[in-house]
Amino acid sequence: MANEELNLNNEQNDPDEIEKKKEKVKKSEKSVKRYQFFLLQLIIVIFVVWILFFKIIGLTHMPSDDMSPRMDSGDMVLFYRLDTDVQSQDIIVIEKTTPDSPKEKQLYISRVVAAPGDTVEIKDDRLIVNGNAVVESNIFYTTPAYEDYVEYPVTLASDECFVLADMREGGTDSRYFGPVKKSEIQGTVITIFRRNKL
């Protein structure tokens, strides 16, 4: 019994054993610090990605063929959320209610054809802005007015724009749901990723 106690005391006072225990503690502390550092980096990366993709950049899919042939239904669309001061010919992502579903917002992607303060009219299947017929070399269809939805001429308020689908015959746009308010603009399209290349 006395010999066992003596051995325990020797182990406790042995400098090599003490050093080994100190090394174990140091390794354990380093491991914990590495783990904490990794967690901190992970949190920062998640925060940056969240800011980037939920506050600055948006990613959505083209909901229809309204922008054909440039965009097809299902194409992935990257857009810049902070750009809501749009200009004519910008392609924008909007969330808007329609006359047929006034309580449910839907996603649309359309081309801006008239900016705040402009007066828009559609006459004889042609787009007229501020009294001048607009020549659109990148549009391959006539622009008919839709009966019973919008009365022309339309003068846009300071926070409104008028949008048209590139597929003018049957596209869902301002001829159907009226001018788009600044608050309904989700952002400006930066680029698209074709579905067949994904």
From 55, 80, 96, the end of a domain falls on 55
DSSP string, 105-155: EEEEEEEEEE-TT-EEEEETTEEEETTEEPP-TT--S--PPPTTT--SSEE
How much is the pTM? 0.75
Q: Which of 70, 73, 54 is nearest to 62 (CA)?
A: 73
For the record, the structure tokens of 29 come out as: 């502390």
Q: Which of 90, 94, 136 is nearest to 111 (CA)?
A: 90
Residue 18, domain extent: 2-55
Domain count, the chain: 2
Q: What is the pLDDT of residue 6?
A: 44
Q: Are residues 89 and 10 in the same domain?
A: no
Q: What is the pLDDT of residue 2?
A: 46
CA dihedral of 143, 146, 152, 158, whole degrees rounded to 10: -80
Q: Are residues 13 and 92 in the same domain?
A: no
Q: Are residues 97 and 152 in the same domain?
A: yes
Q: Are residues 84 and 182 in the same domain?
A: yes
For the record, the structure tokens of 59 come out as: 């990613």
Q: What is the DSSP letter of 68?
A: T
Q: Are residues 78 and 172 in the same domain?
A: yes
Grouped pLDDT means (10 residues each) for the chain, 198 residues: 48 68 75 84 88 85 91 92 88 92 92 96 95 90 91 95 94 95 95 74
Q: Are residues 96 and 111 in the same domain?
A: yes
From 55, 83, 99, the end of a domain falls on 55
Q: What is the pLDDT of residue 12?
A: 55
Q: Are residues 51 and 67 in the same domain?
A: no
